[in-house]
Every structure is written in structure tokens, then in C-alpha cells.
Structure 1
Amino acid sequence: MTPADDFCYIDIGSIDNKNQKLSDEENIITANKAPSRARKIVAIGDILYSTVRPYLHNMCVVDRSFSHQPIASTGFAALTCHTGFYNEFLFYYLMSPDFDAYANDTDNAKGIAYPAINDNKLYRALIPVPPESEQKRIVEKIKEALPYVATYGVAYSETESLNNTFPDRLKKSILQEAVQGKLVPQDPADEPASILLERIRAEKEQLIKTGKIKPDKHKSVIFRRDNSHYEKLDGIECCIDDEIPFEIPGSWVWERWGSISQSIQYGYNAPAKDCGRIKMVRISDIQDNSVLWETVPYCDIKENEISTYLLQPNDILFARTGGTVGKSYLVQEVPEEAIYAGYLIRTRYSQWLCPQYLKFFMESELYWSQLRNGTIATAQPNCNGKTLGKMLLPIPPLSEQYRIVERVNALFDYCNSI
């Protein structure tokens, strides 16, 4: 019936479907503004059961009075129990898996996006009816058990969340131990990383002299003195103890990524094509630490520019913008000539470093914390080559780098099996 006076309107939004409770707030509507669906008069003790998407359990027992006549939406079935039938028993039965199976069966609930059971199908459902006194005893037992069910539900959800996140959290802990020098024992016979760095610097100077790479705009050398860390940058010494996040073994050293890299090069900007001179790897072509080479598009590029952007094994690609900013990829093979697109940065480094160790660093929290500090927070987050170049990373002796990689791989295999 159409409301003749002001009334309290109950629609689907009035129900808390997690607790099956009616909202305490009243939605008072004047008769002349009554929605076309406001048709079902209800009273205290009635059961409201949403017939639209019944699996959501938008239902409740009307358990309070209203300032005006309550009228429910036609999206509800309004159920009033006869004498001898306990409303709370019916309410809990409507919540049961048996009734759910009936209400949500495709023969009863019609529709794809919003399946609904009509009133005729609903009212024809068979319901087991014990004596009234037993109905009340059943309800009492249900209410007695519900707090334990809720407690179990919380514990189950927490356990499921832990099970789902535990492997990744364990991997992060393994990487943190790795970059702190706590994952494998140090070997006194290893050549110290300080000597390794001298070799890397000498190699870099030779490449600069022969014109194969460009000199650093800001040359950096990190060293220790009086139990503190100093950096000589552009000829000026400065204590950088406040940048050092943790202690590392004595055979290790701290270094800037820019100092160990031979180049940090932005990618090539060109439209993707179905055919062209050469393949061009984009951010979207890198999935789960591998390149989907079959779907990598082509692009056109001048012959004299190819060498600047040509990918080689052991190059590391770094996403500089978008939702994947900071994600890295270690190039392990290049099945055919390929360059890389403009939203990527390529870093190339000394042969005296273990590629996979550097990749593991770029998955560690030490890397991500520095990246977050250097990321420009906009609608499209981005960072640049300077952010990467300024990053501090701990360098172990070369042989230890390989031992770390071997150990991390073994532990990651175990994590994946959990």
C-alpha cells in the first residue's frame, strides 16, 4: 500500500549484514516523497529477509519501536510468525546453510548481476518445525555458542591472513638478513670488499679514458675514519653516519649505487608497433621476473642510436613511474635484439659484482625504504636515475656475494613450498 503519512523507511542500507542488525538511525520520509518500493508495513518481532542476493544475509529481526510507522522496501520479504512459531528460531534457520542452498539455487534465485528469489519461491520453502519449547532451547544454545563462533572466526581470519602473507614476509626477512651480512658466515680467506671496490674504480676509470662510458658528474668515495663513515663528494668530506642504517661485517663496505654502476640510462621513447626494426621491452612486458618475449612489440629507431639502448644479459631494468615504480628486473637472456622503453631505466655495472646479489638488494627493505624517500608522490608516482644513483648498498666480498645468492635461492625455494 502507498503510505498516507510520514513513515520510517527501511531499505537494504538499513541492515548491518555482518551482524544482522537493524540500524538505530531512522530514515523518516514524508508521504509525498515515498519511494515506489516503500510498500511493506512491518512491526516489532517481524523478520526482514532481503530477497535480492540472499547470500549477503541482509536480514534482521525488527527489535525496536519507531517514532513513525515503519515501512520496508519491496526488496524484503516481511515475515510475521504465527502463534507457536518462535521468530528467532525462524531467523536462525534462514541463516543456515540448508536454507542458503535453497534460496541461492539457480532454480530459485533468478538474475545474473543481482540474483533474487521471489516471494512465491520463498514461501514454498520447507522448514523443519520442532515444538515451541524446543525452538526456544535451540535458540538459547545458538546464542550461547555464537560468541565462541565469533572468536573462532577472528582466529581463523588471522590464521588465513598469516598463511597468505607468511611466505612473502619470510622472504623479506631473509633478504634483510642477507644484506646485513647475517645469512652466511664470513670467510677470513675472502678478499675484502674494499679491495674489490678498488678494482671496480680502476675498471671504471679505464672505461672513462677510452670513452666507453661517461665520467660521474659527482664523484663519491665512502671511507671509515675514527669509527665513523665519511663520504668524499666533489672533493668535500662529510660524515654520513646518520645515513648508515645498520652495522655490516668488517670485510664489507658501504657504497653508492652510482659509484659501482657504469651507466644509469633512461629508455627510448617510441610508439609500439606490430613490426619494426627492433623489439622494445616495456614495463607491462615484465611479469613475475621474466619478459614475455613473444608479446614484446617492435619499434623504429635510428641505427646509430641502437647501441645506447641495446639490452645485454645482466643488465638491470628499473621501473621509474606508475604503479610498479621501483620494481626491477635482471636481464638473464636476450633471445633477439631488443631495447627498452622510456618508462624504464637500465643500470649496467662492473663484472666484479654478482648480478643476482644486486637484484636481491633491489628486493630488500633497505632498497625500498630509500626508494620511498626519493619518490615524488604525485597521482603517477615516479623517481629518477638520481634516486638510484644515490642509494647506499652494502657490498660483501665477491665470493660471499655468490654464497649469499646460493643461500637465498635455497631458502626462497623452501618458502615457495610452504
Structure 2
Amino acid sequence: MPFEVPSGWVWTTIEEICSKIGSGSTPRGSNYSANGIPFFRSQNVYNDRLVYDDIKYISEEVHQKMKGTEVLANDLLLNITGGSLGRCAVVPTDFNCGNVSQHVCIMRSVLVEPEYFHALVLSSFFAKSMKITGSGREGLPKYNLEQMGFPLPPLAEQQRIVAEIERWFALIDRTEQDKTDLQTFIAQTKSKVLDLAIHGKLVPQDPTDEPAIELLKRINPDFTPCDNGHYENLPFPIPRNWAWVRHNDILEISGGAQPAKLHFSSELHPNYIRLYQIRDYGDNPCPVYIPLEMASKRTQRGDILLARYGGSLGKVFRAEDGAYNVAMAKIIFKYDSLLDIDFAYYLYLSKLYQGKLQEVSRTAQAGFNANDFNDLYFPIPPLHEQRRIVEKIRTVYHVIDKITEEL
């Protein structure tokens, strides 16, 4: 016996508690129909349910010829070959009719709660007990399945076990949902902080600050800034000492480049440099390095990188010393002392930039180019206020993160 069971339980085998154990078959010539009787293959069997995506159908005539593979309500369907071997689902009680392929085994229990049987099949004990055969496409032979040990409680205790499992799983699901809701709330809160910041409502204005428009004129006497009096359809009102500025008038987007993959290395060698790739985004990026002489597009620590396309489109990245690839764009400041780089970073995280991306990104792969931001405007506060805003954002974010850690 694999382990001792409580008094009132008994060790038996899967063969002893089933009236049917058997896999299905595939209709001759894959004789599927446009509709009719559902035909379940291994890709339709998951641990929590039967999945009807990509379901096939057979005709009533074919179904009658395959009566030995017919599925009934409360059957357990177990994948017995390939990469999904071990996945198992309970057929719902309201199930009507269906058949299975040769890669799926029907287990029809007698006086055993299907959900208890299901829990046992999904347990680590069952996974460790399976005697798999085959060196190519692995499989679980019928005889090996039949002889597997089965710890059988009294029927009433099976029902209590199932009820307890469902109670704990429901609690886990609620906890996971609460965690998801909390993460959503945190993201919304941080977004609201940025929204207040770019509207000039996060910190009070200081009348002694040099107005942004004066700073602009002092940096470039020929510069013509936008403001609420000269341009219509600007995103929103801003404080008097702020100024609206076109993105492309003050910032430049520089696309990346990279050598062929044969030059990539997973280790840092002398005269090699980190290459930032789109697949590296995340909390635990996987570094890729290239020879220093091949780094045609370089970054310095603190540079702002924007993801241009793919699943990371919209992410904003602060670089280390390194290089950046074609999936990224580096932000270049056209004027010194106009924008605090940390303030610019938060501008790109805000709804102003993120919302614009939704308008201009034609497809996930096409992404954006510099011309897409000709009509993107940024609100520019006085330089000292930019730094106060950055400090306030960091303070609020720190408090939020601290609370999150303590939950």
C-alpha cells in the first residue's frame, strides 16, 4: 500500500471501481461533420472543464458505429497520450451525447463520487503512480491505468471530502480575485496620481517660479509655444504659468538597431554591452549582450526607452548603459534645462501618451513612428515645479507600495 488510510477506508484499484475503462477512436478517414455529435479530442479536455474550442463533430450514423466510445454524464475523461497526458475533466451532469478519440480514456465509476475520483486523478499521488510507456509519444496503457491503486473512503465521506475541497477552492478563488482587484485598484490609483500631476493639481504652484513660456523663450527666442489662447482642442486647461508644447518640437524619437542574432551572448564578456530587447521586459529580465563595436544605438543610464510594438507596446523603460534594438525607441531632448527627465518619464506613463498610442498604433506589430506624434501635446510646468511634482509622485508611490507589501 502506498500509504496508510483511515479506518473505514480501503485500498482498491481503478479497475475495481469502474464499470468502463477505455479509450476512443478516430472516425475512419477523419469523417467529421459540420455539426452533429461532439467529438472530444485531447485538446478539448482540461482539468477544470471540457473546452469546446476547435471541437469536431460526427454524424449520428458514425456515432452509432462508435457506441463503445460514447461519453455519458459524470464520466471522467483522461488524456492518456502526448504532452497533455494526465489532464482530466468530469463530464457535466447535464451532458447530452458525445464521443472521444483514441487519445482520451473514459473512466466510468460505480458508487464513487465523480468529483472525488477527479480530485484523486489530479493529485500528486496519481501523477507519481502513473506508469508511462513510450520513448516518442508517451502514453498510459490501459492495463497500467487499471492496476493503479485507489484509496476508497465510504461514500458519505467522499461527499464530505468533495464539499471541503470545493470550500477551500472557492476561498482560494476569492483570495486570487481580491488580489487581482487590489492590483487593479493600485494601478488605477497610480494612474490617478499621474493624472493629477499633469493637470497641475498634485502640488501647489509657486508664483516665484519662472513661467514655462519664459523659460521656452529664453532657451529659444524663436520658439512659439502653444497655449490655451492660441490653440483650440488642447487636451485640458493647465495652470497659468504652464505651457502646452508639441511633443516633436521638444523631443525626438530615435529608433533602435541590432546586429544579427549570431552575435548575441547570454554572458557579459570584455568589450560586450547589454542589448535591451522587447522580450526582456518584466521584473526579471534576461540579459542579452552584443560586442561593443556593434552597438550602433547606445543608451546611457537613465535614458527613456519606449516599447514600439508587440505585447510590450506602451511600456516605458529607464535604461542602463547599453544598446537598444529595433523594438524600442530612445527619447532625445532637443533643449537642455526645459524638461526634467524624471518628469518626462512620468509624462510617458500618463494617459496623455498612453491614450495617444491607442490612436496611432495601427497593429501590434506596426507600432508607431515619430510622425505619429506631430499632434501630441505635453503640458510643461516651470522647471522647479516639475521637480516638486516628481518628488510628490515618488512619495505617494512609495506609500502605496509600502501598504501593498504589508497586505
Question: TM-score band, normalised by the shorter chain?
Answer: 0.5 to 0.7
Per-residue CA distance 1:194-213 (angstroms, 9 max, x = gap): 333332333xx5xxxxxxxx
Aligned-pair distance for 1:95? 1.8
Match of 2:244, SS? strand
Superposed, 1:347-358 pairs within 5 Å as 347-348=332-333, 349-358=335-344
Change in CA separation of 1:3 and 1:345 when aligned onto 2, cut-off 3 Å: closer
Change in CA separation of 1:61 and 1:260 when aligned onto 2, cut-off 3 Å: closer
- What's 1:370 paired with? 356
- What's 2:380 paired with? 395
* Distance (whole Å) between structure 1 residues aligned to residue 119 and residue 209 of structure 2: 67
- What's 1:234 paired with? none
Pick aligned residue for 1:28 from 39, 59, 65 = 59
Aligned residues: 359
Superposed, 1:238-317 pairs within 5 Å as 240=232, 242-244=233-235, 246-261=236-251, 264=252, 266-267=254-255, 271=259, 284=277, 295-299=289-293, 316-317=304-305
Change in CA separation of 1:256 and 1:281 when aligned onto 2, cut-off 3 Å: farther
Change in CA separation of 1:41 and 1:409 when aligned onto 2, cut-off 3 Å: closer
Q: Assess if the C-alpha contact under 8 Å between 2:116 and 2:161 holds in 1.
A: no
Amino acid at match of 2:113: L
Ranges in structure 1 where 5+ consecutive residues have no aligned partner: 206-218, 232-239
Q: Assess if the C-alpha contact under 8 Å between 1:46 and 1:79 holds in 2.
A: no
* Distance (whole Å) between structure 2 residues aligned to residue 130 and residue 16 of structure 1: 28
Aligned-pair distance for 1:385? 2.1
Match of 1:347, SS? strand
Q: Assess if the C-alpha contact under 8 Å between 1:103 and 1:117 holds in 2.
A: no
Superposed, 1:18-417 pairs within 5 Å as 18-19=48-49, 27-28=58-59, 40=68, 47-52=75-80, 53=84, 55-60=86-91, 72-80=100-108, 85-86=110-111, 89-97=112-120, 100-105=123-128, 107-108=130-131, 117-124=140-147, 125-130=149-154, 134=156, 139=159, 155-202=174-221, 205=222, 220-224=224-228, 229-231=229-231, 240=232, 242-244=233-235, 246-261=236-251, 264=252, 266-267=254-255, 271=259, 284=277, 295-299=289-293, 316-320=304-308, 324-325=312-313, 327-329=315-317, 334=321, 344-348=329-333, 349-375=335-361, 377-378=362-363, 380-417=365-402
- What's 1:214 paired with? none
Aligned-pair distance for 1:367? 1.1
* Distance (whole Å) between structure 1 residues aligned to residue 191 and residue 388 of structure 2: 18
Aligned-pair distance for 1:281? 8.0
Q: Assess if the C-alpha contact under 8 Å between 1:266 and 1:346 holds in 2.
A: yes
User: Once structures 1 and 2 are overlaid, which stretch shifts more, 183-192 or 359-368?
Assistant: 183-192
Amino acid at match of 1:50: L
From the CA coordinates, give the structure whose radius of gyration is larger. 1
Amino acid at match of 2:385: E
Amino acid at match of 1:411: V
Change in CA separation of 1:408 and 1:109 when aligned onto 2, cut-off 3 Å: farther
* Distance (whole Å) between structure 2 residues aligned to residue 359 and residue 351 of structure 1: 15
Per-residue CA distance 1:260-290 (angstroms, 9 max, x = gap): 34xx264576846969xx9898652885699
Change in CA separation of 1:115 and 1:168 when aligned onto 2, cut-off 3 Å: farther
Q: CA RMSD in A?
A: 5.2
* Distance (whole Å) between structure 2 residues aligned to residue 289 and residue 22 of structure 1: 35
Match of 2:152, SS? coil
Q: Assess if the C-alpha contact under 8 Å between 1:200 and 1:260 holds in 2.
A: no
Q: Assess if the C-alpha contact under 8 Å between 1:254 and 1:394 holds in 2.
A: yes
Aligned-pair distance for 1:381? 1.7
Q: Assess if the C-alpha contact under 8 Å between 1:193 and 1:252 holds in 2.
A: yes
* Distance (whole Å) between structure 2 residues aligned to residue 340 and residue 3 of structure 1: 48
Aligned-pair distance for 1:401? 0.8
Pick aligned residue for 1:11 from 11, 20, 40 = 40
Q: Assess if the C-alpha contact under 8 Å between 2:275 and 2:324 holds in 1.
A: no
TM-score, length basis structure 1? 0.63
Amino acid at match of 1:47: D
* Distance (whole Å) between structure 1 residues aligned to residue 69 and residue 226 of structure 2: 79
Match of 2:227, SS? strand
Q: Percent identity?
A: 21
